[in-house]
Structure 1
């Protein structure tokens, strides 16, 4: 057991109040003689403030501590004056070393119940100090924000902004990168990220640009001329947000021109493998997503891997697909579906004047048939007549007579009138480009034409080509 006496004095005024190094040393040595402790070692810090954590003698004392040692101080204020948190931290280090602390003025001994009570009180004071410091800090930040000063480091700002010398927001060196991203318009996020990486531009965290980083920049309202402080921590309390002026990096028109729907930048979009992702719906109406069937670490290299489009439960919001009652097993071979989609779109583009194609290509309402009910009735009667003949319920001669009458009635029904469009352009070249397109080119064309396909029992159907108004 080694008694270790810590001594500290900061100013000459303390000597007049009995805090001189000599006075502290004499009282500590007297206590050691009373306790029968010999071989006391002294650790004096002369002329140092107790608020400092880097006091040489105190650092050496804590380094020399051994289990069973006794640390003696004249008063707790000699050990630390940086508040309850600092003092509790020093006492904690003494106790972790297995040593004992004795303060002569306060009559504190950490080996006694009274001393342990004092430590509990110090812990409570430290917690109170932390809360008060946090409240004062937050109040200062709010006041700074109200004055237009950003109260945090530049690292927490959106890309393109930084704190100026006075704390107000100014453009950062990355502002031009933000403008470059918006200049790409509605290009897919992955294409923009590849462009930035090809130019050697580093991402917000110093690495390569990724899709989430590009998306975050595109969706942030840089045109507003301000940022909402506290919006991130209080997203549901807009009344608590504080507007801090910030330079507008783009105009509202440029920002709006870069916004796009999720299909253009689908999370699972791989144009080289799945060009229809974001443009292909299941029969139940759920967007289909591309998937490598048979892929994964547990799959043998010889396993037959297939690319497919799948109706996922998490996307449709139900365990089973309403169209066929299956879960994720209703997959569709990607290559076959892509070929069908190419052929179908090319057919529509090649014959835009076809009544069956016109309303899909232009977005105009489909032509109505005022004689649809009469036409359907004749078809039903023809079907029933054929069934009667097959079942032998009617003589063949009568069958031919009745069938001729029904066919005459069907021919007499006026055909569906379709408006003739003489202003439709020749889209043959576009149709040929669709047929010859690679997967990447097809995906780009589908984005431009805003195409929507839907798959059913009869294969792929074209639902819309908008806003491709002819």
Structure 2
């Protein structure tokens, strides 16, 4: 039987992280642990350095090209938030390349497609609600233009921002729940142990930063 071939896709958010290796060792270790055992070969490791200002992913395109050339499976070290990136999912689905997500092994093509569709719909809904709230504020006589911001307008804008943040956090928690359940199933039972696993996988907490036991409890509740 021929060896299975894999191309690993790692990503960091800044060029500095890419240079320093921060987070990369954890991703490499996660890929190695997932592929442990069996007869396989790693064709190449591809690193994506995300700028946050660009929506294109040249390294992903290169990784998909390698997969097609070598008839390999793409191993994604960190899918997490990429599952909510419509452009990423579109490229992945249209490529026809088989893939594995180390941090979301349950994420087959159907699941990822649904996640992306939900993300797109939710982003559109949040945008519409934000515009509607600002339009309502304007209809009440709140001046939305100009360089000076009245206390009333500032409070209204803050309320809209809080609503958007709250909806975003709620959506993130809904997506994190099955990941936490998977970690529990692997043997991590305490809140602190689950938080440590989430940090090891470099999955951000709903409001950003590192996980703590209390944050895990909030998701589970």
What is the TM-score when the length of structure 2 is the normalising length? 0.47
Q: Which has the higher contact order (CA 8 A, sep 6+)?
A: 2
Larger Rg: 1
Of Structure 1 and Structure 2, which has the larger fraction of its residues in helix? 2
Q: Tell me the TM-score normalised to structure 1 length.
A: 0.25
